Each structure stands twice: as C-alpha cells, then as structure tokens.
Chains A and B, each alone.
Chain A
C-alpha cells in the first residue's frame, strides 16, 4: 500500500537527452474554487507553491 496523492504528476519523458532542459507537462487534476484561486494566484493546487523561506530571512 502507498499513500495516494492526487497531485503527483507523471514526470516520465519518453526520451531524455543530455544538454536539454525539461519541465514536466502539467496534467489536469482539479481546480480551486474561483475565490480561493484568485487569493492563491493559481487555480491549480499542484502549482500552488507558497513562499516558506520568510522566517529564515
């Protein structure tokens, strides 16, 4: 058994080459409701990456 995380994307690329940068293509998972999305700056939970380093400034 493993914990199911709906926001984990499939990061596999068919053929990774040297000297090339890759960003995984986003797959649709779910959306935040509009009011929450505007507050967070994204409608996609998997792209919601708040700044956490503030306390270590």
Chain B
C-alpha cells in the first residue's frame, strides 16, 4: 500500500521544447533499463527476499523508481508541449504521434514497446540482487548518454539528479547482497 505526495521528488524543468530530446528520453520511461522496468522488477522480486530489511530495500527503491518515472514523464511532456505536428514529423516523432499524440506511452526511443521480458524474478535473492545492481549501472550509463545528448541546462540538471540516485541505489543493493548472503550462511549452521 502506498501513500503518495502530489509533487515531484525533484523539479523537472525544461528550458525550451525539444522533440529529439523527448524521443531520446522516452528510453528511461519504457525502455529496457528505464524507470518502469526498474520499479516493476524490484517490486516483484521483493517477495523472495529472506529478511525484512531486504524486502524493505527493494520496496523502497521500487517506490522511488515510480517517482523517477513521473519525473521522466514530466520532462517528455514538457519537451513536446505546444510543438506543431509538422515539427514532430520532421524531428522523427511522426510514428509516435500517430498512435499516442503527445501522450506518454511505455516504449523506448525506437518505438519498441515495454515488455516484461526486460526483467526477471528468479526466486533466488542472490541472483535477483545481482540483476538489480546491473540494472542500476545500466540506468546510470543511460543517464550519462542522455546528458551527452542535450544542451538544455534544465534537463541536464534533472538528469544529473536521477543519475546520482542510481549510484546510491547500487550501494544499497550491494549492501543488501552482502547482508542477505551473510544471513543465508548463518542459517546453515544453527
């Protein structure tokens, strides 16, 4: 069960509309290493975590990834706001416009739809935590690519925040891995 706040975790400002950047940013909405994949991955993996603390880490981070999903959606929405169809078409969003107009949909930058095949839940806490650490690193890299792709200082600022959160999450998953392994080993000798 969730309690939510009607505000973003971090401001999502854009200095000016930018169709190309919106197209790239959607990668972090519905792409393989995006925020939706992250939130759903951790939220479903939490059930097999052997300790209450590990369950809490996964649920907490899944929740924060939903907050990041909201931030990405806001950025994309603002980058497309008021842009005429002619420009959407010219900048490569004609296909997207056909089915979604300027609405937000779970696809990556090439238009590939989000799929549960992007994530796993192995029923094994150690295997799942390794996936989670890899996911954070892949998301960090994606944010770095996105920072490289824009000159908009407002967008860069928000992306830098999101990138830093991936680093913090990696640390938390890493600590959880060490602690879960320790817990499981202690269970073998009682």
Give A contacts to B, CB under 8 Å.
13, 20-26, 38-42, 44, 47-51, 53-54, 57
A50-B164, A53-B144 known; A26 and B171 CB under 8 Å? yes
Structural contact, B164 and A26, CB atoms closer than 8 A:
no
Q: Is B186 an interface residue (CB 8 A)?
A: no
- Taken together as a complex, chains A and B put the C-alpha atoms of A23 and B180 apart, in Å, by 12
Nearest chain A CB to B11's CB is how many angstroms away? 9
Structural contact, A21 and B177, CB atoms closer than 8 A:
yes
10 A-B pairs within 8 Å (CB atoms) are namely A20-B181, A22-B178, A23-B173, A40-B164, A41-B162, A41-B163, A41-B164, A47-B171, A48-B164, A51-B144
- Taken together as a complex, chains A and B put the C-alpha atoms of A48 and B165 apart, in Å, by 10
Nearest chain B CB to A9's CB is how many angstroms away? 11
Closest B residue by C-beta to A47: B168
CB contact between A54 and one of B147, B178, B181 (< 8 Å): that residue: B147
- Taken together as a complex, chains A and B put the C-alpha atoms of A18 and B100 apart, in Å, by 50
What chain B residues lie within 8 Å of A47 (beta carbons)? Answer: 167-168, 171
Q: Is B130 an interface residue (CB 8 A)?
A: yes
Structural contact, A51 and B171, CB atoms closer than 8 A:
no
The contact size tier of chain B is 20 to 34
Nearest chain B CB to A48's CB is how many angstroms away? 7
- Taken together as a complex, chains A and B put the C-alpha atoms of A53 and B161 apart, in Å, by 16
Structural contact, B10 and A38, CB atoms closer than 8 A:
yes
- Taken together as a complex, chains A and B put the C-alpha atoms of A15 and B143 apart, in Å, by 35
Known: A23-B175, A38-B10. 17 other contacts (CB 8 A): A21-B130, A21-B133, A21-B174, A23-B177, A23-B178, A25-B178, A26-B175, A41-B10, A42-B167, A42-B168, A44-B168, A47-B168, A49-B164, A51-B160, A53-B144, A54-B144, A54-B148
Closest A residue by C-beta to B159: A51
Structural contact, B177 and A41, CB atoms closer than 8 A:
no
What chain A residues lie within 8 Å of B170 (beta carbons)? Answer: 23
- Taken together as a complex, chains A and B put the C-alpha atoms of A33 and B104 apart, in Å, by 35
CB contact between B148 and one of A22, A50, A57 (< 8 Å): that residue: A57
Structural contact, A49 and B167, CB atoms closer than 8 A:
yes
- Taken together as a complex, chains A and B put the C-alpha atoms of A47 and B171 apart, in Å, by 8
- Taken together as a complex, chains A and B put the C-alpha atoms of A22 and B178 apart, in Å, by 6
